[in-house]
């Protein structure tokens, strides 16, 4: 997607998914600022992009510390003439190793390594760029979140999920506040990615429609759209409407999953009704006639109300 020359700050972009996003945006002609807590990693990533013909700048600093992040981003804005796109990508447990542990067993001193990067990092970086974006009348804030922030999971990531949920809800409020200035704030909620160990994902991959894990390229494509002029109307509240589409009777067999999928109990939750119907038509072979489409549950009528 073609874009005008702009500058993007990507946090946690020294490796993995963040670096994939940075490469993609740089290939589109966007100047990228590579943030990473590891200075050598940030420098190597920036050098790689420059050697490929892109424009890049290394910016190693700790996004979890307000007294460090805000002045660092202010200095960057002065150097590059403003940050147009912010990708809040840094996550997991920051520079510490992520480990799964039930909340009842987690020591309170471990909470901050998840809340710091996944919530305070987003707060700090978003706060630092918003005024400039609003003054210039254009800006894109994109926060990488997780399904752990949308739904409760039984994989012992409760504090991580709580922090992701907080950051996602922050974007909903920020989108309302800055939309009139030409600035959008959006969230990309990820499922399992290809940096997760295979022993943890082998069973779950069978329940994913595309039968594979997500990649940095998948995320980069979504960021490309949300950071473009074409996404000027998008915000979390405007674009997302959750709808549950009942599974067909043979959904478990077609998905190749185990008997844990009960058609009577499980619904396929999507963000857009038309996308849900299109998915079901393609995946489950439902025809395009109204008689073969699933009937979406109707909201109950209030006493005395006239149903349209």
**Digit-coded pLDDT (tens) for 149-202:** 788 877 788 899 999 999 999 999 999 999 999 999 999 988 777 766 666 666
How far apart are the C-alpha atoms of 166 and 164, rounded to whole Å? 5
Instruction: Note the pLDDT of residue 99.
Output: 76
Per-residue pLDDT tens over the stretch 82-94: 999 999 999 885 6
7-239 — its CATH code? 3.40.50.720
> In this structure, what are the phi and psi dihedrals at residue 269, rounded to the nearest 5 degrees?
-95, 125
Per-residue pLDDT tens over the stretch 101-149: 898 999 999 999 999 999 999 999 999 999 999 999 999 999 999 877 7
Work out the number of other CB atoms within 10 angstroms of the CB of residue 8.
25
Q: Within 13 Å of residue 74, how many CA atoms lie on the same side as its CB?
A: 9
Residue 187, helix vs strand vs coil: strand
Q: Give first-to-last CA distance, the chain, whole Å.
A: 41
Average pLDDT score, the chain:
78
Question: Strand 31-35 vs strand 139-146: parallel, antiparallel, or unpaired?
Answer: unpaired
- The owner of tokens 């077609």 is 254
Active-site residue list? 160
Greater confidence (8 vs 245) lies with 8
How far apart are the C-alpha atoms of 233 and 218, rounded to whole Å? 22
Per-residue pLDDT tens over the stretch 216-251: 788 888 899 999 988 887 665 444 333 333 444 444
Q: In 63-157, which residue ranges form alpha helices assigned H by DSSP?
A: 66-80, 111-115, 121-136
pTM listed for this prediction: 0.74
Please determine, for residue 304, whether its predicted confidence score (pLDDT) is greater than 60.
Answer: no
Please, where in the chain does CATH 3.40.50.720 lie?
7-239
Please determine, for residue 267, whether its predicted confidence score (pLDDT) is greater than 50.
Answer: no
- Count Cβ atoms within 10 A of the Cβ of residue 186 and give its class: 0-12 exposed, 13-18 middle, 19 or more buried: buried
Confidence tier at 276 by pLDDT (50, 70, 90): very low
Average pLDDT of span 34-40 = 97
Residue 196, helix vs strand vs coil: coil
Q: Is 156 left (phi over 0), alpha (psi -120 to 50) or beta?
A: left
């Amino acid at each position: 997607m073609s874009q005008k020359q702009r500058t993007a700050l990507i946090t946690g972009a020294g490796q993995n998914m963040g670096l994939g996003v940075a490469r993609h945006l740089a290939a589109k002609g966007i100047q990228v600022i590579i943030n990473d807590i590891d200075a050598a990693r940030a420098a190597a990533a920036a050098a790689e992009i420059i050697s490929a013909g892109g424009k890049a700048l290394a910016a190693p600093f700790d996004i979890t510390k307000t007294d460090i992040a805000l002045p660092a981003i202010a200095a960057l804005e002065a150097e590059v003439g403003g940050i147009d796109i912010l990708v809040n990508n840094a996550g997991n447990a920051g520079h510490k190793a992520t480990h799964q542990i039930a909340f009842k067993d987690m020591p309170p001193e471990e909470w901050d390594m998840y809340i710091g990067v996944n919530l305070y990092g987003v707060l700090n970086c978003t706060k630092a760029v918003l005024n400039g974006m609003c003054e210039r009348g254009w800006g894109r804030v994109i926060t990488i979140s997780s399904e752990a922030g949308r739904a409760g999971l039984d994989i012992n990531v409760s504090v991580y999920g709580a922090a992701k949920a907080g950051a996602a809800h922050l974007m909903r409020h920020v989108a309302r506040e800055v939309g009139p200035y030409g600035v959008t704030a959006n969230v990309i909620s990820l499922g399992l990615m290809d940096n997760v160990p295979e022993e943890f994902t082998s069973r779950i991959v069978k329940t994913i429609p595309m039968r594979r894990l997500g990649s940095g390229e998948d995320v980069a494509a979504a960021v490309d759209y949300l950071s473009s002029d074409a996404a000027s109307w998008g915000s979390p509240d405007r674009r997302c409407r959750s709808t549950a589409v009942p599974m067909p009777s043979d959904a478990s067999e077609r998905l190749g999953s185990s008997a844990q999928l009960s058609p009577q109990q499980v619904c396929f939750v999507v963000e857009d009704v038309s996308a849900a119907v299109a998915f079901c038509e393609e995946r489950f072979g439902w025809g395009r006639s109204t008689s073969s489409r699933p009937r979406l549950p109707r909201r109950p009528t209030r006493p005395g109300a006239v149903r349209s």
